[in-house]
Structure 1
Amino acid sequence: MEGVNERDYKRAQKRVQAIKGFWGHFITYLVVNVILFIVDLFTTPGEWWFYWVIIGWGIAVVINALSVFAFGKFHGKKWEEAKIKEILDKEKE
């Protein structure tokens, strides 16, 4: 790609992989929990256990979403460059 340096390209590629990973995680969460709901419905009617999986795994999905979409913005390009400079300055000492 013309006009884009390799470091910026790698950073964008890493971000795309993180977003892709989140959506894969989320779709898996939905599909598996629908299957677990059906299994729960037919194997133990009246006793609901599938919601424990939804809650536990749901917390993991929310944490994943926050790390990809919310914290990824806080730890963006400016933060990363400042952190790199800080580390390099410490190594010079």
Structure 2
Amino acid sequence: MGRNRRNQEPLTAYDIAKKRVEEKKKFYRHLSSYVVMSAFFYMINYLSSPGQWWFYWPMLGWGVGLAFHYVNIFGIPGLIEEMSPEWEEKQIQAELRRLEKRGMDISKPAPKEEKPLELKELEKRKKESWDDNELV
């Protein structure tokens, strides 16, 4: 779970759900303003220069922004499941079963022992290049 930024208390499921609903509400407001402004630009275009259609250019740019807003809130349809940790674990298990059928050893390798790093250069830098008597 996440944490509340103001007081660093853990967020409850209710808090997370409420935040998601607020984000969805913002998206629907954005969508409704897009629809209203599309009609507004269409009417301006129709009344001022009916032979030259330009209203779709600002709506195209705004539509791209709206599409990004949608993906940010709802995700890409059909891809949400594929990006979850559960999906990834299922895929790993399926690959392990496939490799086991081929006769491969699927036991997890033992973790490698890490050797401590030698930081001789850092030790050289630690040495002070001044004499304490020189300080005021």
Global fold match (TM > 0.5): yes
Match for 2:26: what amino acid?
G
Give the secondary structure class of the aligned counterpart of 1:45: coil
Which residue of 41, 59, 83 corresponds with 2:64?
A: 59
Partner of 1:34 in structure 2? 39
Give CA deviations for 1:34-63 in whole Å, capped at 9, x if unaligned.
011011001012111111011100000100
Give the structure 1 partner of residue 20 of structure 2: 15
Higher helix residue share: 1
Alpha-carbon distance in 1 for matches of 2:31, 2:12: 29
Task: Tell me the amino acid that sits aligned with residue 42 of structure 1.
Answer: L
Please say which structure displays the higher CA radius of gyration.
2
Identity, % of aligned positions: 29
Structure 1 outlier segments of 4+, above 6 Å: none
Q: TM-score, normalised by structure 1?
A: 0.68
Q: Identify the residue that residue 6 of structure 2 maps to in structure 1.
A: none
Instruction: List gaps (5 residues or longer) in structure 1.
Output: 79-93
Matched residue, 2:115: none
Cα deviation, residue 64, structure 1: 0.4
Normalized against structure 2, the TM-score is what?
A: 0.48
State the Cα RMSD in Å: 2.3
1:49 is aligned to 2:47: no
Q: Larger relative CO (CA 8 A, sep 6+): 1 or 2?
A: 1
Counterpart code for 2:58: V
